[in-house]
Amino acid sequence: MPLHMFILNANQPNRIIQSLRALSHQFSANPSFAMTGSRSDHTKGAKSPPPDDTVTQQGASPSSPASSSIAPPPPPDPAPKKRNAFLELMSPKHKSPKTAVIPADPHSHAAAKLKKGSYRGALLEYIQHPDRFPASQVLRTTPNTVLIRDAFPKATVHLLLLPRSPAHYEQHPHEALSDPAFLATIRAEAETAARLAAAELARQLSPFSASSKARNDALATGTVPYDDLPAGRDYLPEIRIGVHAHPSMAHLHVHILSRDMHSDRLKHRKHYNSFNTPFFVPLADYPLAEDDERRDSAFQNANLGRDLVCWACGKGFGNKFAELKRHLDDEFELWKKR
């Protein structure tokens, strides 16, 4: 189902965000709520929506209660499979036909990368066939974007926003995001995603949060009217939105992830530095100036190899990745309790 049309409607995303903001606020601190699959009819408020324009959140029947929270991630593999876990994840139901990973323009940015190995095209299946994935992986589908869980999350919450317009997703992020209309759409969708991520983070962590204690206690009584609940910790500032300066995956993807970098899947120095140096370009910084040093390849390579620095306390760890990892465990405990 190739997408030939890429409809930009600056008003539509805003409306969606407004709806979700309200819901996120309502439910973000309720750990039990997100346990149910959900679908938000509030997100369908866009004007004159053709069938293609439907915004869906998977994993629930139309009759289930509305929510902007996202379903909890599946439990981590207890005993990770020996081989090809990555490729299996990328083709969960069947092997996609070979033609499915050949982009429209064989000379495009994406096509050039695909020649080196099919893994680089793994995101395309999500873009073209989000319906083939379970709700635990694909969180939200719009005509313009697909929002998925990163299969190898580098933080407690780590989502990917995938634009569906081939003209854009085959470009380098710097180029694609220099298109103002496209940028506006992606930014709006990314903010929606950030709210979902914040809600999921609240679901997981607010039980440990000192600043959420009053709210948690009130919720526990079951007697406090919802509108009278004290506010809990605001997790939205803990969510970061951006792209990698030189992605390996062929198709444009925007990272939406929590600040903590606490994950078993964070295994290498480059993993960490790709999110904690200028290699990570906040979406807010686009469009990039022509002379922005972050366009420079050599500069970015140097970033990935840089000495490790804790995002929370600024302590340096040189090349001692394992030491940083242990330190991040400690920082996570502190961060959770804020």
Partner DNA sequence: TATTCCGATAGTGAC
Partner DNA sequence: GTCACTATCGGAATGAG
Q: Which residues bind DNA (CB under 7 A)?
A: 80, 82-87, 91, 95-96, 98, 116-120, 152, 154, 244, 246-249, 265, 267-275, 279, 300-301, 304, 319-323
CA separation for the pair 19, 319 (Å, rounded): 45
Residue placing its CB nearer to DNA in the complex, 27 or 317: 317
Residue placing its CB nearer to DNA in the complex, 11 or 319: 319
| Least separation in angstroms between CB 172 and DNA | 12
Which residue has tokens 């007697």? 223
Residue type, 265: R
| Least separation in angstroms between CB 187 and DNA | 20
Which tokens hold the place of 280? Answer: 């990570």
C-alpha separations of 235 from 88, 153, 201, 313, 315 in Å: 32, 18, 7, 19, 24
| Least separation in angstroms between CB 104 and DNA | 17
Q: By the 8 A CB rule, do 192 and 17 touch?
A: yes
| Least separation in angstroms between CB 281 and DNA | 12
Q: Which residues pair with 318 in a beta bridge?
A: 308
Residue placing its CB nearer to DNA in the complex, 268 or 338: 268
Q: Which residues pair with 254 in a beta bridge?
A: 161
CA separation for the pair 255, 282 (Å, rounded): 9
Q: By the 8 A CB rule, do 135 and 60 touch?
A: yes
| Least separation in angstroms between CB 74 and DNA | 15
Residue placing its CB nearer to DNA in the complex, 97 or 225: 97
Residue placing its CB nearer to DNA in the complex, 47 or 107: 107
